[in-house]
Chains A and B, each alone.
Chain A
């Protein structure tokens, strides 16, 4: 029987490849990757943010949602099959929802700014950027907690260590 996690990873990557292809063949927007600053050499500017997202905003949003899903699927793959319990899947699902919330706030916060041209600030950065800066950094905290606090439960239990030591012994590698 095929490993369902690897099938899921394959499906996610394939859809991401298709989205990438759709973006590549979408109507090009001039200077979508930035343009030189009108007066200061060496600086780039982004220009009209709304125009840059017009053709591909939805596709890019979906691409990132899949990428976040890919990350938790890869973490599940990294856990030994015998430790892939419903509890682990529940924790990974919560992690995914947490990172999705951060991405949602960042993306729609940016759209909101493009519409209203006003923004609040959090710890020095406009709100949408603060979600990117602090949110993305802290978005992986649940994964780190699962790994460190759940190390003996999900990653490497005492039984795992015993099996490993036995394997080394059997191979004359003690």
Chain B
């Protein structure tokens, strides 16, 4: 079997991609309106929503960057994932019920739609849509680039495709992504997410089993090796230190309820009562898939320290080196398919919310109505957005990586600090004002951009994202308390009492 390692991996990835294309074709017949395209007509069952929710949370970063971070900085980045249980709980307590109710009451198809209904403010809608478009561009470009780099690494291991270029890989992987997103919209996206989520869970569990068998003494031997070299690396705050770790706890924990690609999925379930099962199911899926992040990073760091493996050229190589050195070809095939699944499940969610912001929210905020024939425009803009993001990714790879890195890093923290107060708190507090929302969004955009552009090093590993998040929370509530709140529309007022 070892002789056919590369062929098995390519076969697994190919089967997965064919599945995505077929799902797109199937979903096309069920997509008859922009409501179907963007929020699946609010008719999804709990299992589909659960898997779509967690698979969109764990992007390619979780499968590539996550193990790389553990390899490089030790336990620090664990904080990004162990907080997921609290993050999901907060998201459901604060957002799931109200966003689903407002979506039906006002026929909302996007997050800015919900904000506009809640605050009765087009500027809030516009700023939220703008934040989403900025974040989506960076996220999408990094995901498309990651997908192409992984595909190139797989294909260049074969004789036929030994010299395949990155551009060709962007075209192949991008075409599959665009095809199922354009034809089937969010319906294709969530149903591919179901399979993508399944693959990711299986991959996480199998990788944990493989990782614990690398050393005779299992995970304890691996952690002991790390402890002997540098105790801080395997102690609770890792090499990055206590404030970097707690910052990640804050931004990734609370911030989960501010991620537009996730909370938008909370508008898609058929019944509000389904939320009671969606929460534990999506969390279980996430925990199983995230085992890969934890186990590969720890074992690779220990393997390098013990001389079992050569030092990695780049920390992000941790997953691919682990797969080729310590797993059998079949598992490697499943995990590589899982990696594509992780990247695509996040990318399709971003394509969807980015398109909604461009064709629905920004025109509505600027001219009071969205575009005519939204479904057609949704399909056209989905293609354009993916093409621009792919071009952006290639430009960053060959010319200047600054802008994409900037927007990529900008994504999660800006969504967290800009959207969490406005949506998660605003949907539960009648006193929240449009002025407070505008100040919170603008301050989070400014602080995150300034922190990224100036590359300011805040002492003790404190991130710009943490500063932006705490500031926007204080400003949002403080400004809302200090300003006069416009009276709510009667239906929204009544809804917030339920």
Contact = CB atoms under 8 A, between A and B. Distances in A.
Interface of A: 2-3, 6, 9-10, 13-14, 16-17, 20, 23-24, 26, 28-29, 32-35, 37, 40-47, 49, 52-53, 56-57, 60, 63-64, 67, 70-71, 74-75, 77-82, 106-107, 109-110, 113, 117, 119, 121, 123-126, 128-129, 131-133, 136-141, 143-144, 147-148, 151, 155-156, 160-161, 163-164, 167-168, 170-171, 173
B75 interface: yes
A155 B218 contact: no
B230 A47 contact: yes
Contact of B241 (A52, A74, A139, A171): A52
B101 interface: yes
A40 B73 contact: no
B476 to A, nearest CB: 9
Interface in B443-458: 457-458
A77 B425 contact: yes
Contact of B474 (A10, A34, A119, A171): A10
Contacts of B243: 23, 56, 60, 63
A74 B424 contact: yes
A32 B470 CA distance: 22
A32 B75 contact: no
Give 6 closest A-B pairs by Cβ, nearest first.
Answer: A46-B232, A124-B219, A33-B461, A78-B93, A140-B85, A34-B239
A137 B235 contact: no
A129 B223 contact: yes
B232 A45 contact: yes
Contacts of A131: 236
Nearest to B283: A144
A37 B491 CA distance: 60
A79 B93 contact: yes
A167 B461 contact: no
Nearest to B90: A74
A67 B93 contact: no
Contacts of B238: 34, 46
B74 interface: yes
Interface stretch (B163-171, B197-205, B268-276): B268-276
* Residue of A13, A33, A41, A110 with most chain B CB atoms under a 10 A cut-off: A33
Interface of chain A, main secondary structure: helix
Contacts of A133: 75, 78, 82, 294
Interface residues of B, number: 97
Contact of A144 (B89, B234, B272, B301): B89
Interface string B63-99: 0000000011111101100111110111011110100
B11 interface: no
A67 B247 CA distance: 10
14 contacts: A34-B238, A42-B314, A42-B315, A43-B311, A46-B231, A49-B232, A63-B243, A78-B90, A113-B231, A125-B223, A132-B78, A133-B294, A137-B287, A171-B491
A144 B281 CA distance: 11
B246 interface: yes
Given A141-B85, A147-B279, A156-B273, 10 more contacts: A3-B429, A9-B425, A24-B458, A42-B312, A44-B74, A46-B239, A67-B249, A74-B425, A125-B223, A136-B86
A10 B472 CA distance: 11
B244 interface: yes
A75 B90 contact: yes
Interface in B192-229: 212, 218-220, 222-224, 227, 229
B253 interface: yes
